[in-house]
Amino acid sequence: MNIIRTVRSVAFSSIPNRTLSTTRSLSTPSAQYTAFEVNDKTGIATLTLNRPPVNSLNLELLTEMRNCLKDAETNKCKGLIITSSSNSVFTAGLDLLEMYQPQDERVKSFWTALQSMWMELYGSKIPTAAAINGHAPAGGCLIATACEYRVMLPNFTIGLNETLIGIVAPKWFVSAFLNVVPRRVAEQAITQGKLFTTAEAHHVGLVDDVVNTKEEAIAKCEQFIASFKNVNPYARALTKQQFRIKELQELEQQREKDLQIFLGLIMQPSVQKAMGIYLEGLKKKSKKQ
Amino acid sequence: MNIIRTVRSVAFSSIPNRTLSTTRSLSTPSAQYTAFEVNDKTGIATLTLNRPPVNSLNLELLTEMRNCLKDAETNKCKGLIITSSSNSVFTAGLDLLEMYQPQDERVKSFWTALQSMWMELYGSKIPTAAAINGHAPAGGCLIATACEYRVMLPNFTIGLNETLIGIVAPKWFVSAFLNVVPRRVAEQAITQGKLFTTAEAHHVGLVDDVVNTKEEAIAKCEQFIASFKNVNPYARALTKQQFRIKELQELEQQREKDLQIFLGLIMQPSVQKAMGIYLEGLKKKSKKQ
Amino acid sequence: MNIIRTVRSVAFSSIPNRTLSTTRSLSTPSAQYTAFEVNDKTGIATLTLNRPPVNSLNLELLTEMRNCLKDAETNKCKGLIITSSSNSVFTAGLDLLEMYQPQDERVKSFWTALQSMWMELYGSKIPTAAAINGHAPAGGCLIATACEYRVMLPNFTIGLNETLIGIVAPKWFVSAFLNVVPRRVAEQAITQGKLFTTAEAHHVGLVDDVVNTKEEAIAKCEQFIASFKNVNPYARALTKQQFRIKELQELEQQREKDLQIFLGLIMQPSVQKAMGIYLEGLKKKSKKQ
Q: In this complex, which of B148, B236, B243 lies closest to C163 when CB atoms are compared?
A: B236
For A75-102, the DSSP string reads TT-SEEEEEESSSSBS---B-GGGTSS-
**Cβ-Cβ contacts under 8 Å for B113 (sequence gap 6 or more):** B59, B62, B63, B66
Q: Are A137 and A92 in contact (CB under 8 A)?
A: yes
pLDDT for residue B165: 79
Contact list in A for residue C234 (CB cut-off 8 A) is 166
Nearest Cα residue to B202 out of B217, B192, B191, B215:
B217
Q: Are B251 and B121 in contact (CB under 8 A)?
A: no
Work out the average pLDDT over A191-204: 97
pLDDT for residue B25: 62
pLDDT for residue A15: 33
Write out the residues of chain C at the interface with chain B, using a CB-CB cutoff of 8 A: 162-169, 171, 174, 182-184, 186-188, 190-193
Q: In this complex, which of C178, C227, C243 lies closest to A192 when CB atoms are compared?
A: C227
- Cβ burial, residue B213 (10 Å; 0-12/13-18/19+): exposed
Average confidence score pLDDT of chain A: 89
Nearest Cα residue to B165 out of B143, B139, B201, B200:
B139
Work out the average pLDDT over C241-262: 96
Buried b / exposed e over C270-283, threshold 16 CB at 10 Å, is: ebeebbeeeeeeee
pLDDT 10s digits, C195-220? 999 999 999 999 999 999 999 999 99
Nearest Cα residue to C96 out of C282, C256, C255, C268:
C282
Instruction: Read off the pLDDT band of C25 (50, 70, 90).
Output: low
CA–CA gap between residue B280 and residue B104 (Å, rounded): 22
Work out the average pLDDT over C224-252: 95
Q: What CATH architecture applies to the domain C23-288?
A: Alpha-Beta Complex (3.90)
- Cβ burial, residue C213 (10 Å; 0-12/13-18/19+): exposed
Helices B171-178 & B104-122 angle (0-180, nearest 10): 20
Write out the residues of chain B at the interface with chain C, using a CB-CB cutoff of 8 A: 127, 148-149, 178-182, 205, 227-228, 230-232, 234-236, 238-240, 242-243
Interface touch A236/B184, C-beta < 8 Å: no
- Cβ burial, residue A289 (10 Å; 0-12/13-18/19+): exposed
> Lowest-confidence range among A69-78, A89-98, A160-169, B223-232?
A160-169
DSSP A52: T
Does the structure show a pLDDT above 60 at A68? yes
Nearest Cα residue to B255 out of B81, B116, B142:
B116
Determine the 3-state secondary structure of A14 from DSSP: helix
Interface touch B231/C182, C-beta < 8 Å: no
Contact list in C for residue B243 (CB cut-off 8 A) is 174, 183, 186-187, 190-191
pLDDT for residue B14: 31
Instruction: Read off the pLDDT band of C270 (50, 70, 90).
Output: confident
pLDDT for residue B166: 82
Regions of chain B with pLDDT less than 70: 1-29, 288-289
Q: In this complex, which of C165, C168, C184 lies closest to B238 when CB atoms are compared?
A: C168
> Lowest-confidence range among A25-34, A179-188, B212-221?
A25-34
Interface touch B242/C183, C-beta < 8 Å: no
Q: To 5 degrees, how large is the angle CA C90–CA C96–CA C102?
A: 145
**Cβ-Cβ contacts under 8 Å for C272 (sequence gap 6 or more):** C100, C101, C266
Nearest Cα residue to B265 out of B160, B146, B165:
B165
Q: Are B21 and B153 in contact (CB under 8 A)?
A: no
DSSP C89: B
Nearest Cα residue to C84 out of C1, C176, C152:
C152
pLDDT for residue A31: 83
User: Which candidate in B160, B162, B163, B275 is best for mutational testing of the A interface (most A CBs within 10 A)?
Assistant: B163
Q: Give whole-number Cα distances, B74 to A46, B29, B121, in Å.
A: 59, 18, 13
Q: Are C224 and A158 in contact (CB under 8 A)?
A: no
Nearest CA-CA distance, residue A289 and chain C, Å: 29
Q: Are C149 and C179 in contact (CB under 8 A)?
A: no
Is A73 assigned a catalytic role? no
Most distant CA pair in chain B, distance: 56
- The amino acid sitting at A236 is R
Interface touch A243/B168, C-beta < 8 Å: no
Most distant CA pair in chain A, distance: 56
Name the active-site residue from A47, A94, A114, A206: A94
Is C161 assigned a catalytic role? yes
Q: To 5 degrees, how large is the angle CA B182–CA B184–CA B189?
A: 95
Name the active-site residue from B79, B139, B140, B193: B139
Q: In this complex, which of A180, A234, A242 lies closest to B184 when CB atoms are compared?
A: A180
Q: CA A195, A196, A201, A204: dihedral to nearest 10 degrees?
A: -90
**Cβ-Cβ contacts under 8 Å for C210 (sequence gap 6 or more):** C151, C152, C153, C154, C198, C199, C202
Higher pLDDT, C279 or A6: C279
Instruction: Specify which of A15-19, A82-86, B165-169 reaches the highest per-range mean pLDDT.
Output: A82-86
| Dihedral angle sign, alpha carbons of residues C19, C20, C21, C26 | positive
How far out from the chain centre does Cα C35 lie? 14
Is A162 assigned a catalytic role? yes
Work out the average pLDDT over C235-260: 96
Nearest CA-CA distance, residue A95 and chain B, Å: 30
Higher pLDDT, C286 or A82: A82
pLDDT for residue A153: 98
* Domain boundaries, given as residue ranges, for chain C: 23-288
For chain B, the DSSP string reads --TT---TTS-GGG----SSS-EEE---TT--SEEEEEETTT-EEEEEE--TTTT-B-HHHHHHHHHHHHHHHHTT-SEEEEEESSSSBS---B-GGGTSS--HHHHHHHHHHHHHHHHHHHT-SS-EEEEE-SBEETHHHHHHHHSSEEEE-TT-EEE--GGGGT----HHHHHHHHTTS-HHHHHHHHHHT--EEHHHHHHHTSSSEE-SSHHHHHHHHHHHHHTTTTS-HHHHHHHHHHHHHHHHHHHHHHHHHHHHHHHHHHTSHHHHHHHHHHHHHHHHHHHH-
pLDDT 10s digits, A235-274? 999 999 999 999 999 999 999 999 999 999 899 998 898 8
Does the structure show a pLDDT above 50 at A10? no
Instruction: Read off the pLDDT band of C279 (50, 70, 90).
Output: confident
Q: To 5 degrees, how large is the angle CA C225–CA C118–CA C195?
A: 85
Q: CA A52, A58, A60, A64: dihedral to nearest 10 degrees?
A: 80
Interface touch C178/A182, C-beta < 8 Å: no
pLDDT 10s digits, C67-113? 999 999 999 999 999 999 999 999 999 999 999 999 999 999 999 99
Higher pLDDT, C177 or C287: C177
Instruction: Read off the pLDDT band of C241 (50, 70, 90).
Output: very high
CA–CA gap between residue B202 and residue C139 (Å, rounded): 33
* Closest-CA residue of chain C to B234: C166
Is B39 assigned a catalytic role? no
CA–CA gap between residue A42 and residue A23 (Å, rounded): 10
Higher pLDDT, C80 or C270: C80
Interface touch A166/C238, C-beta < 8 Å: no
For chain A, helix (H) and strand (E) counts, in that order, are: 10, 10
